[in-house]
Amino acid sequence: MQKPIVAVVGRPNVGKSTLFNKVAGSRISIVEDTPGVTRDRIFADCEWLGHKFTMIDTGGIEPFSKDIILSQMRRQAQIAIDMADVILLLVDGREGMTAADLEVANMIRKTSTPIILVVNKIETKELDRNSFEFYNLGLGDPISISAEQGLGIGDLLDKVVESFERSEVDFEEDERLKIAVLGKPNAGKSTLVNRLLGEDRVIVSNVPGTTRDAIDSSFKYYGEEYVLIDTAGLRRKNKIYDEIERYSILRAVTAVERADVCLILIDAEYGITEQDAKIAGIAHNRGKASIIVVNKWDKIEKDNHTTKSFEKDIRETLSFMSYAPILYISALEGQRVNKIMETVLQVASEHAKRITTGMLNDVISEAILLNQPPADKGRRLKIYYATQASVKPPTFILFVNNKELIHFSYIRYLENQVRNSFGFIGTPIIFLVREKTDKDGK
C-alpha cells in the first residue's frame, strides 16, 4: 500500500524546512533566513508510532507576488496539496497572522483533505498566547510548536497519525504483482508498456516527458493478473524547468514504493548514464527486486564484443546493483520482450525467498572458515549465528560480539557467499548486525 503523503505548506520563512528536517531526522532541506530558499519540493520517508508516511517540504506560497519563480513555487505547492493525504499549514507565531496567511488558508480550504494548523516559533508560554489569533483562519484548533527547538513535535505527529486513521478506509489488499517501469524521458517506457499489454493503452510520443503521472494498467499473463505502472521520465535536476516535472519525480518514487518489481529501462543509443544510476538507486534504496532492461538494442551496430562491452559499462556504473539481471530488447520491434515477464516472475520469487536458519548458518560458518573475520587491536570479530528476519527484500541478522569490529567489506563478502549458495537473483539483500555477549552466544 502506498504511504500517506503529508505536505507542509505556508508562506515563505515560517519554518517549513526546519520542521521538515526535524521530522525527517536529517538536514535535507536548505535552511536560510531568506524567503524563497526552498524552491523545489523535497520529500523524505518518515515514521511515527509505527505509521510510515512521506513528507513533502514545499516552496513558500506568495499569494500576492507576480515574480515568475514565486508563481511557479505557488503552483508547485498546489500540486503537493492536491496529492496530499494530510496538509500542515505552518504559520509564524512570533510575527502573528498576516494577509498572506489568510490567502494561503483560503487556497487550501477548498480541498477535502484534513488540514492541521501549526503555529511555529512558540518557545515560551508568553508567545503561546499569540496562537489564539490564528483561530481567525477558520481551520480549527492550532497546535503550537517550535520546530527549531523540537517543542510540540510529538503532539503534532500524534495528530497527523490520527488524521491517517480517520481517513483510512477498509479495503482488500491488492495482491497482484506490480511492475514499475522506470527510466529517463524518451527511453521507451510507454512503448514497452504497450508491447507488454498488447495494445496501445498509453500515449506514445517521441517528445520527452509525455507521461506526466504514474499510470496503472492491468493485464493477464498465463491466466494470472498483473499490474504495470508506467512512470513519468526522470530528468536530471538541472533539466527540470516545469514544476509538473518535479511532481512527476515524487509520483515515480511513490510508484516504486507500490511496486514489487522495477524495470530499469536504459536507452541503448545513449548508453548507461549517471542519471540511469540515480533512477536505479531509487529502486535499490527501497529494497525492490529489479531488472535492467536495455531498450532500442536493434538500433545498435554490433560485433562480437558489443554485448560484453555494454554489460561491463552497466556493471561499473550500477555497481550497487550487481544482482540485477540484464535483458537486451527492442520494445518497438518486440525483440526479446517475451523474456521480460519470465524474468519478472523469477526475481519476484527470489525477492520473497526464505532460507532456513540451519542452512544459512552452514554457509556463514563455511565462509568464516575460508576467510577469518577482521581483528582490531587484538580483538577479533566473532559471528555467533545468523537468521533471516524478513523477505521483500530478504533481510538477515548477524549476531556478533562487537559490531564495531565488522567492516562493510566483510559484510559484502558474506553477502557474496550467501548469493553463491542461494541465488537471490534480482533482489537486494540486507544484513543487520546485533551485539550478543559471548555467554549468550554460546
- Confirm whether residue 58 is marked as ligand binding: yes
- Confirm whether residue 152 is marked as ligand binding: no
- Confirm whether residue 26 is marked as ligand binding: no
- Confirm whether residue 234 is marked as ligand binding: yes
| Bridge partners, residue 431, by sequence | 396
- Confirm whether residue 3 is marked as ligand binding: no
- Confirm whether residue 17 is marked as ligand binding: yes
Residue of 108, 59, 13, 103 lying closest to 247 (CA atoms): 59
- Confirm whether residue 301 is marked as ligand binding: no
- Confirm whether residue 299 is marked as ligand binding: no
Query: Residue 282, Cα to own-chain centre: how many angstroms?
Result: 6
Query: Residue 204, Cα to own-chain centre: how many angstroms?
Result: 26
- Confirm whether residue 268 is marked as ligand binding: no
- Confirm whether residue 158 is marked as ligand binding: no
Q: Rounded to 5 degrees, what are φ and ψ at 153?
A: -65, -40
- Confirm whether residue 123 is marked as ligand binding: yes
- Confirm whether residue 159 is marked as ligand binding: no
3-state SS class at 250: helix
- Confirm whether residue 13 is marked as ligand binding: yes
Cell numbers describing residue 270: 545513449
- Confirm whether residue 201 is marked as ligand binding: no
Q: Rg of the Cα trace of the chain? A: 25
- Confirm whether residue 15 is marked as ligand binding: yes
- Confirm whether residue 266 is marked as ligand binding: no
- Confirm whether residue 189 is marked as ligand binding: yes
- Confirm whether residue 324 is marked as ligand binding: no
Looking only at the bridges linking them, the beta strands covering 224-230 and 375-376 are: unpaired
DSSP string, 287-353: T-EEEEEEE-GGGS---TTHHHHHHHHHHHHTGGGTTS-EEE-BTTTTBTTHHHHHHHHHHHHHHT-
- Confirm whether residue 184 is marked as ligand binding: yes
Cell numbers describing residue 19: 520542521
- Confirm whether residue 93 is marked as ligand binding: no
- Confirm whether residue 441 is marked as ligand binding: no
Residue 229's contacts (CB-CB under 8 Å, 6 or more residues apart) are 178, 179, 180, 181, 214, 215, 216, 255, 258, 259
Query: Residue 293, Cα to own-chain centre: how many angstroms?
Result: 20
- Confirm whether residue 334 is marked as ligand binding: no
- Confirm whether residue 119 is marked as ligand binding: no
- Confirm whether residue 101 is marked as ligand binding: no
| Bridge partners, residue 48, by sequence | 51
- Confirm whether residue 230 is marked as ligand binding: yes
- Confirm whether residue 186 is marked as ligand binding: yes
Cell numbers describing residue 93: 507565531
**Which residues are annotated as part of the binding site for GTP?**
10-17, 57-61, 120-123, 183-190, 230-234, 295-298
**Which residues are annotated as part of the binding site?**
10-17, 57-61, 120-123, 183-190, 230-234, 295-298
